[in-house]
Structure 1
Amino acid sequence: MNQPSLSYGNISLRPLEPEDLELLYLWENDSSIWQVSNTLAPFSRYILRQYIEESHRDIYETKQLRLIIENESGDPVGAVDLFDFEPFHQRAGVGILIYATTDRQKGYAADALQLMCQYAKEVLGLHQLYANIGANNPASVGLFEKSGFQLSGRKKDWLKLLSGRVDEFLYQKIL
């Protein structure tokens, strides 16, 4: 990356800070978004504080990385995660959250995803990223397709929701 910081378009990415505790508590415990993160129970402040305290550890050790997405004013609007990091196979999963509906459709997610793709390729040396997306999430499907991810699989009745079962799509991007 030819940039001095993790910035692209209208966003910047930064590591977790102790001051993010209440923000993470709000985001992680909002049951309306649990289905996209495969969360089944709320997180305590104690557990989230430990998570933040451990977030300084290297991605090669933890196999994951969470960064906060800030808008052009420096306000946190969401988070982007690399998970299931596999340095030998040079791949990782990627997930993204823009929390407030008023912050969606402003290009923050697209910019963050573009930046994470650059970071994954140029800094981590990854060959590919993948995303698992519920078939009931057309906004995420559109985001990942516009970002160059291609549909490579469909898992039938994969996700159990209160309203029934839905398929899950596997999207991949060769970097």
Structure 2
Amino acid sequence: MVTLKGNTIFLRALEPEDLQSIHRIENDERLWSVSETVVPFSVYSIKEYIANAHKDIYEVKQLRLAICNTVSKELIGLIDLFDYDPHNARAGVGILIEAKENRGKGYGKEALDLILNYVRSHLKLHQLYANILEDNIASIQLFTNAGFVKIGVKKDWRRVNGEGVRFRESYKNEVLFQHLL
């Protein structure tokens, strides 16, 4: 069974040529509330991260894969497994389709389907979970349509800067979704 190749996208390991794309994504402040990032990343730190991305998920407890278009081979996003717990056979999953023009085309759904097949067949996981801000309707729909079930809400879980209001903080609820495999 081929688990990392779909009809319109494929998942692959990070490569050195991904440096600029990952640096751009990681330093996009509009995405920081999703990744809980609060400081920018240097080119050097991203280069080091990519250089060590070959390490085994069993060692580093995470795996980041590039989501690439099957026709253009262009990197269009990232999908991460994190907090990998082999004893309890579970991991968290996060996904990002970078450009707005690539969203809503089914790439995220296909990437999520591929990672679900991968963790079932290769990692033998029992479950995946996702933490999604409650106002991220597109992500909630994506994960719900993929079989994830809402199991709880963490109230005022994430401190974020207010949209359009400089230096004004607010808190957002985070919804916890689970998928038993």
TM range (shorter): over 0.9
Aligned-pair distance for 1:72? 2.4
* AA at the equivalent of 2:122: V
* AA at the equivalent of 1:138: I
Q: Residue in 2 aligned with 1:56?
A: 54
Aligned-pair distance for 1:9? 2.8
RMSD over equivalenced CA pairs, Å: 0.8
* AA at the equivalent of 2:96: L
**How many angstroms apart in 1 are the aligned matches of 2:22 and 2:79?**
13
Q: TM-score, normalised by structure 2?
A: 0.94
Cα deviation code 1:112-135 (max 9, x no counterpart): 001101101110000000000001
Cα deviation code 1:126-165 (max 9, x no counterpart): 0000000001211110100011000001001111111211
- The alignment status of 1:165 with 2:179, answered yes or no, reads no
Task: Please give the secondary structure, in 2, of the residue aligned with 1:85.
Answer: strand
Task: Please give the secondary structure, in 1, of the residue aligned with 2:156.
Answer: strand
Task: Please give the secondary structure, in 1, of the residue aligned with 2:123.
Answer: coil
* AA at the equivalent of 1:120: V
Alignment equivalent of 1:174, drawn from 168, 171, 180: 180
Structure 2 residue runs without a partner (length 5+): 163-169
Cα deviation code 1:29-59 (max 9, x no counterpart): 0001111111101100110010000000000
* AA at the equivalent of 1:83: F
Aligned length: 173
Aligned-pair distance for 1:8? 1.7
Q: Residue in 2 aligned with 1:28?
A: 26
Give 1:73-152 correspondences, 5 Å limit: 73=71, 74-152=73-151
* AA at the equivalent of 2:18: D
* AA at the equivalent of 2:179: K
Q: Residue in 2 aligned with 1:67?
A: 65
Percent identity for Structure 1 against Structure 2: 48
**How many angstroms apart in 1 are the aligned matches of 2:5 and 2:151?**
29
Q: Residue in 2 aligned with 1:8?
A: 6
- The alignment status of 1:153 with 2:152, answered yes or no, reads yes
Cα deviation code 1:11-43 (max 9, x no counterpart): 100000011111111110000111111110110
Task: Please give the secondary structure, in 1, of the residue aligned with 2:55.
Answer: coil
* AA at the equivalent of 2:172: V
Aligned-pair distance for 1:105? 0.3
